[in-house]
């Protein structure tokens, strides 16, 4: 497995299942796995999703909650024998730019985004990122939604450049290729 891997796709495309399959292979080879969860339980539906993910998570996977401070969580969990699965960048960005309570923190987001991109090349752990590819549909009508889609697209591109592998999930099927001009290429 190359150092870092980005898995993108639409909702219910199989992204998390693919990341889990990669993590199970890593675990079968004797390595540890830590899932870095970014979701916030802001409503009943999200609480149910989080609970289902916890129950369905394979035995032996550690969980780290990081709804905002993703770079700190990755840095603290970093170990060459541990695969880190970030699920997902999409919700992480929502927490910063479209929080359920309070105002967006654009300055905090810029600092945390830069910290993540700076940290990735220095991690001993391989990281599998899960993120939605949301820019293929109709352009959102609201300014905030358009800003979010643009930011997620830029984040996915920047993370991909720091990964050795990119997988696009389509109808539960992975399409994987090396990332051009990545540090691992």
32-41, 50-59, 87-96, 176-185: least confident range: 176-185
Contact 175, 15 (CB under 8 A): no
CA distance 19 to 1: 12
pLDDT band at 135 (very low <50, low <70, confident <90, very high): confident
The confidence score (pLDDT) of residue 46 equals 87
Fold exhibited by the domain 4-178: Rossmann fold (3.40.50)
Exposure of 99 in the CB half-sphere (CA atoms within 13 A): 12
Structural Rg of the chain based on CA atoms: 16
CA 105 to the chain's CA centroid:
19
Residue ranges of alpha helices (H) inside 98-164 are 106-119, 143-161
Sheet holding 127-132, edge to edge: 61-65, 32-37, 82-87, 127-132, 4-9, 165-170, 173-178
pLDDT at 183 over 70: no
Residues paired with residue 176 on neighbouring β-strands, in sequence order:
167
Of 109, 117, 80, 78, the closest CA to residue 92 belongs to 109
> Catalytic site residue 147?
no
Strands 165-170 and 173-178, by their bridges, are antiparallel
Judge residue 44's burial from the number of C-beta atoms within 10 Å of its C-beta, 0-12 exposed, 13-18 middle, 19 or more buried: exposed
Residues paired with residue 174 on neighbouring β-strands, in sequence order:
169
Catalytic pick among 4, 5, 53, 147:
53
- The residue that leads in pLDDT, 48 or 181, is 48
């Amino acid at each position: 497995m190359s150092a870092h891997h980005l898995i993108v796709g639409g909702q219910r495309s199989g992204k998390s299942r693919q990341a889990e399959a990669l993590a199970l292979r890593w675990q079968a080879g004797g390595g540890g796995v830590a899932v870095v969860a970014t979701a916030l339980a802001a409503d009943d539906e999200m609480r149910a999703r989080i609970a289902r993910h916890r129950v369905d998570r394979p035995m032996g996977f550690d969980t780290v909650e990081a709804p905002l401070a993703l770079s700190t969580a990755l840095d603290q969990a970093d170990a060459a024998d541990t695969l880190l699965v970030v699920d997902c960048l999409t919700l992480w960005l929502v927490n910063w730019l479209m929080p359920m309570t309070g105002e967006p923190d654009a300055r905090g987001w810029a600092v945390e985004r830069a910290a993540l991109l700076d940290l990735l090349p220095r991690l001993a752990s391989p990281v599998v990122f899960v993120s939605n590819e949301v820019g293929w549909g109709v352009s959102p009508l609201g300014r905030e939604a358009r800003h979010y889609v643009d930011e997620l697209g830029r984040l996915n591109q920047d993370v991909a450049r720091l990964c050795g592998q990119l997988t696009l999930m389509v109808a539960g099927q992975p399409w994987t290729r090396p990332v051009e001009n990545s540090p691992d290429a």
